[in-house]
Amino acid sequence: MKRFLTILLFFVVTFVHAQQAEEEDYSYEYLSPLNDPSAEGQMYFVEELMDLAGYAPEKIVIYQNLPNSARVFRVTLDSISGGFVFIRYDKKKKENYVANKMIDPGMYLSLKTAKEIFRKQTDKATFTKEDTAIQAADQSRITSGELQGLREEYTLQQEEKKQLEQEQKKIQRKKAAAKRARKFRRKNN
């Protein structure tokens, strides 16, 4: 009977110890990639930004480690294009950010916009073409009135372009008709 109780006690203690160890494993603090200055956190931050910005990178590697939790990542989008993304950690705001403009300007703007969406600065889940885009902090703001004016100007330019194309087509048709008439007259003479 003592052996049975000893073995039972051993299994109970082992089971309780295993439960505590499992609870300890899951009690770690979760750091989002936005505020994780570690290499893995910044790598995940770049992956998330690229995904939110609509890029599908083939490979992301740490190109250079710099002081103060700053890193340069080499991003390969396909066999031809790609670039370098410089990520720094802001100690006051306690968040990662894209620090360089030396990459493709379109990619830079897309990554800055993706970061703003990542920070959940907006309540909207999707955007339409009528919405004003989220702008990077270092850009001058465009108001919705200015945006509407730019859209109207673009529409007028497109209409003028269509009218010019239609006029050129009319002129080409007249020239083609005149050429056919000349050929017909020469053939009949």
Domain-embedded: residue 169: yes
For 119, other C-beta atoms within 10 Å of its C-beta total: 13
pLDDT attached to residue 84: 80
- The predicted model gives 81-94 an average pLDDT of 81
Domain tally for the chain?
2
Q: 90 and 161 share a domain?
A: no
Q: Looking at 89, 106, 121, which one is the last position of a domain?
A: 121
Domain-embedded: residue 186: yes
* Contact (CB, 8 A) for 132 and 116: no
Q: 149 and 117 share a domain?
A: no
**Do the strands 70-76 and 82-90 form a parallel or antiparallel pair, or are they unpaired?**
antiparallel
pLDDT at 163 over 90: yes
Return d(Cα 166, Cα 106) in angstroms, integer: 34
Q: 75 and 114 share a domain?
A: yes
Domain-embedded: residue 135: no
pLDDT band at residue 8 under the 50/70/90 scheme: low
* Structural domain harbouring 113: 39-121
Whole-structure pTM value: 0.45
Q: Which ranges in the chain belong to alpha helices (H)?
A: 2-25, 39-53, 105-118, 144-188
- The predicted model gives 66-73 an average pLDDT of 84
pLDDT band at residue 28 under the 50/70/90 scheme: very low
Return d(Cα 9, Cα 94) in angstroms, integer: 49
pLDDT at 29 over 50: no
What's the pLDDT tens digit per position in 92-145?
Answer: 888 888 877 556 666 666 677 677 666 655 565 566 666 666 665 666 777 778
- The radius of gyration of the chain's CA atoms, rounded to the nearest angstrom, is 32
Q: 148 and 109 share a domain?
A: no
Q: 90 and 148 share a domain?
A: no
Return d(Cα 36, Cα 43) in angstroms, integer: 10
> Which is more confidently placed, 66 or 138?
66
Q: 110 and 153 share a domain?
A: no
pLDDT attached to residue 132: 66
Q: 45 and 103 share a domain?
A: yes
Structure tokens at 81: 């294009």
- The predicted model gives 156-175 an average pLDDT of 95
Domain-embedded: residue 127: no
* Contact (CB, 8 A) for 89 and 37: yes
pLDDT band at residue 172 under the 50/70/90 scheme: very high
Domain-embedded: residue 21: no
Q: Using CB atoms within 10 A of its CB, is residue 85 exposed (0-12), middle (13-18) or buried (19+)?
A: buried
Q: Looking at 87, 121, 155, which one is the last position of a domain?
A: 121
Length of the chain: 189
pLDDT attached to residue 169: 95
- Position 140, amino acid: S
Structure tokens at 30: 């979760």
* Residue 69 falls in which region: left (phi positive, over 0), alpha (psi -120 to 50) or beta: left
Return d(Cα 131, Cα 113) in angstroms, integer: 14
Could you give the percent of the chain with pLDDT greater than 90?
Answer: 16
